[in-house]
């Protein structure tokens, strides 16, 4: 079963409302990725000794840490890709590609599942998830969808049942109930950078 790397984010109190709105929009270019985290890094490094994190706001702190972690993971991926571009990549065997695709699938599955927290919109199955990841090998990303080679799409909508054939059943657990993917899943793929995004809705199953 295939998998990937990655995560999603909303704005903290220290970030502008514009950043919050941008995070829910499609990324126009890789330079716009993780804009909130990049801005936060500049703020912190501008005066590290006097920077004060959001006080008495555990949710704002959580979101901040998630954004910084995602940004760090993205940078790691870019460094890895640059290194691989600088030298001829070793040919991977079909078994190696399959194994990496399976790890990628597990990562995507786990990443989406971790976002399945309870909120009122879960009652109508309209809570949102958005998982960002990085896969430097197009063949591995293609194998995630049982393709023999890199994907030919940059954006594609998958029915919820089909996408779970590739990444496994995604079931979130909350108190006294379970949460499921309730919509088609949009997959965006940037073959130039290896960045990707899975997004859709989740919540309780309609009875």
Domain-wise residue ranges, the chain: 17-203
Answer whether residue 84 shows pLDDT above 70. Answer: no
For residue 32, name the pLDDT band (cuts at 50, 70, 90): low
End-to-end CA distance of the chain: 29
Q: What is the pLDDT of residues 138-188, one digit of tens each?
A: 999 999 999 999 999 999 999 999 999 999 999 999 988 999 999 999 999
CA 36: distance to chain centroid?
Answer: 15
Query: Does the CA dihedral 22-27-29-31 come out positive or negative?
Result: positive
Q: Quick one: average pLDDT of 4-23?
A: 41
- pLDDT value of position 104: 97
The SS3 of residue 81 is helix
Which positions ≥6 away from 162 have C-beta within 8 Å? none
For residue 63, name the pLDDT band (cuts at 50, 70, 90): confident
For residue 74, name the pLDDT band (cuts at 50, 70, 90): confident
Please report how many Cα atoms fall inside a 13 Å half-sphere around the Cα of residue 197, on the Cβ side.
Answer: 20
């Amino acid at each position: 079963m295939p998998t990937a790397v990655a995560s999603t984010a909303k704005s903290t109190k220290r970030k502008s409302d514009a950043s919050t709105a941008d995070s829910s929009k499609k990324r126009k270019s890789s330079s716009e990725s993780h804009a909130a985290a990049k801005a936060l890094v500049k703020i912190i490094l501008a005066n590290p000794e006097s920077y004060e994190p959001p006080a008495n706001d555990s949710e704002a702190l959580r979101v901040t840490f998630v954004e910084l972690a995602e940004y760090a993971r993205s940078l790691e991926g870019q460094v890895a890709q640059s290194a691989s571009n600088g030298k001829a990549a070793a040919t991977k065997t079909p078994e190696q590609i399959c194994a990496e695709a399976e790890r990628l699938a597990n990562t995507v599955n786990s990443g989406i599942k971790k976002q399945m927290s309870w909120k009122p919109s879960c009652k109508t199955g309209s809570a949102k998830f958005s998982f960002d990841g990085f896969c430097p090998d197009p063949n591995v990303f293609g194998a995630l969808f049982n393709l023999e080679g890199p994907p030919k799409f940059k954006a594609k909508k998958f029915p919820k049942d089909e996408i779970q054939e590739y990444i496994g059943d995604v079931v979130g657990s909350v108190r006294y109930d379970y949460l499921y993917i309730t919509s088609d899943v949009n997959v965006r793929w940037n073959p130039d950078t290896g960045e990707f995004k899975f997004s859709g809705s989740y919540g309780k199953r309609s009875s």
